[in-house]
Chain A
Amino acid sequence: KQEVTQIPAALSVPEGENLVLNCSFTDSAIYNLQWFRQDPGKGLTSLLLIQSSQREQTSGRLNASLDKSSGRSTLYIAASQPGDSATYLCAANSGYSTLTFGKGTMLLVSP
């Protein structure tokens, strides 16, 4: 059974800092890995999807990497802004189309 862990559970940084969120998964036989953002009381917004054959994906200030062999993914956020404050979730797709989520990292970026 796939298990996904995210570290840290919460992170507080001043505006402008670069930061890294970590995600690990127990079953390396994944189809893809997806990063989401969730604002309080809201649904999820897809940020990046990395296929199992890819090493990284970039979108604006976000860069996600994937190392299947070690069961790890990271989400790098450059030049953080207060608007980046949210919970970030990673989810592994183990090939059966259902996603297994971590508990998320709650990010607070202070002005």
Chain B
Amino acid sequence: DTGVSQNPRHKITKRGQNVTFRCDPISEHNRLYWYRQTLGQGPEFLTYFQNEAQLEKSRLLSDRFSAERPKGSFSTLEIQRTEQGDSAMYLCASSLLRATQETQYFGPGTRLLVL
């Protein structure tokens, strides 16, 4: 297993269209996170799953955003009716919660451009 993978790596869409991103975590990792990063900023937390349960959602995650992790494996992040302000890098991370040790491993990201 080579790490967290994300697809697609780049997505260009027109305002108002729906887009879906996929994240495949490191196998055996029980936690999966989504972050959003805009230019010159650090990543901002969006949501996370423990196995298939979505445990927390940021207030940044408007009702146009939905995330799923069926069967506790891969995850999808869908953005409906995209807006230009959604343009950003969407990062996925996974971790294995073990007592007090939890290092998050990040994927390469999906860069979204909304025209």
List the interface of chain A (C-beta within 8 A of B). 4, 31-32, 34, 36, 41-46, 49, 51, 89, 91, 93, 96-104
Contact = CB atoms under 8 A, between A and B. Distances in A.
Contact of A98 (B4, B56, B100): B56
Interface string B69-110: 000000000000000000000010101010011111111110
Contacts of A101: 42-44
A40 to B, nearest CB: 11
B104 A43 contact: no
A89 B98 CA distance: 24
B48 interface: yes
Contacts of B101: 49, 51
A34 B56 contact: no
A81 B69 CA distance: 41
B2 interface: no
Q: How large is the interface on B (under 10, 10 to 19, 20 to 34, 35 or more residues)?
A: 20 to 34
A2 B11 CA distance: 32
Interface of A, secondary structure class, is strand
Interface of B: 4, 6, 31, 33, 35, 40-45, 48, 55-56, 58, 91, 93, 95, 97, 100-109, 111
B103 A49 contact: yes
A67 B97 CA distance: 24
Give the 10 A-B CB pairs with smallest separation, nearest first.
A101-B42, A44-B106, A43-B108, A98-B45, A43-B106, A43-B109, A49-B103, A103-B42, A101-B43, A43-B107
A44 B33 contact: no
13 contacts: A31-B100, A36-B106, A43-B6, A43-B106, A44-B91, A93-B102, A97-B56, A97-B95, A97-B97, A99-B45, A101-B43, A103-B41, A103-B42
A41 B42 CA distance: 13
Contact of B100 (A4, A51, A89): A51
Given A44-B43, A104-B42, A97 B109 contact: no
Most chain A C-beta atoms within 10 Å of own C-beta, residue among B41, B45, B95: B45
Contacts of A31: 100
